[in-house]
C-alpha cells in the first residue's frame, strides 16, 4: 500500500539558509500535518491543511511557512535557519480529521550547521 512520502530523507543546511521539505500524502487523503521532533523529544505539531486550506496551527515559528497544493502534496518552507531547527520533521496524512488514525511518513532529518 502507498504510504506518505517525504523528501528529502536527510538535509544539511547552514545557519541562515532556507530549506524546503516536501510531503506527498496517501492517495485520497485530503489532510496533511507537519510535526517537528527535536532530539530526545516527542513530536510537536506545527501546522495542518485540509483541502488546501490551513486547518490548525501549532507552535510553528514565523520563519516557517507551509502550503498544500492542488494535488494535495504539501511543502514546509523554513527560512533563516537556526541551529535549534535541527530536528526530525514528520509529515502525516489522513482523510478528514483522521478519526481512523493517521499515517506518518518516514521523516526528514534536518541538520543545521
Partner 1 sequence: AQKVTQAQTEISVVEKEDVTLDCVYETRDTTYYLFWYKQPPSGELVFLIRRNSFDEQNEISGRYSWNFQKSTSSFNFTITASQVVDSAVYFCALRRGNDYKLSFGAGTTVTVRA
Distances (CA, A) of 45 to 10, 13, 69, 91: 20, 22, 20, 10
Give the span between the Cα atoms of 90 and 11, in whole angstroms.
Answer: 13
Quick one: which of 25, 90, 110, 112 contacts partner 1 (CB under 8 A)?
A: 90
Q: Is 25 in the site for partner 1 (CB under 8 A)?
A: no
Q: What is the DSSP letter of 72?
A: S
Q: Is 82 in the site for partner 1 (CB under 8 A)?
A: no
Give the span between the Cα atoms of 107 and 57, in whole angstroms.
Answer: 19
Q: How many CB atoms lie within 10 A of CB 59?
A: 9
Supply φ then ψ for residue 111, to 5 degrees.
-120, 125
Q: Which stretch binds partner 1 (CB under 8 A): 14-22, 65-73, 75-83, 100-108?
A: 100-108
Q: Is 105 in the site for partner 1 (CB under 8 A)?
A: yes
Q: Is 67 in the site for partner 1 (CB under 8 A)?
A: no
Q: Which stretch binds partner 1 (CB under 8 A): 13-21, 54-62, 67-75, 76-84?
A: 54-62
User: Which residue, 79 or 104, has its beta carbon nearer to partner 1?
Assistant: 104
Residues that bind partner 1 (CB under 8 A): 31, 33, 35, 41-45, 48, 50, 55-56, 58, 88, 90, 92, 97-107, 109
Amino acid at each position: 500500500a502507498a504510504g506518505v512520502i517525504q523528501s528529502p530523507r536527510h538535509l544539511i543546511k547552514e545557519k541562515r539558509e532556507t530549506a524546503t521539505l516536501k510531503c506527498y500524502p496517501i492517495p485520497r487523503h485530503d489532510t496533511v500535518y507537519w510535526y517537528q521532533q527535536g532530539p530526545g523529544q516527542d513530536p510537536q505539531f506545527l501546522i495542518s491543511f485540509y483541502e488546501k486550506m490551513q486547518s490548525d496551527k501549532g507552535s510553528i515559528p514565523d520563519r516557517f511557512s507551509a502550503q498544500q497544493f492542488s494535488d494535495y502534496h504539501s511543502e514546509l518552507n523554513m527560512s533563516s535557519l537556526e541551529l535549534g531547527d535541527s530536528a526530525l520533521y514528520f509529515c502525516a496524512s489522513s482523510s478528514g480529521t483522521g478519526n481512523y488514525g493517521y499515517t506518518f511518513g518516514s521523516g526528514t532529518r534536518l541538520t543545521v550547521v
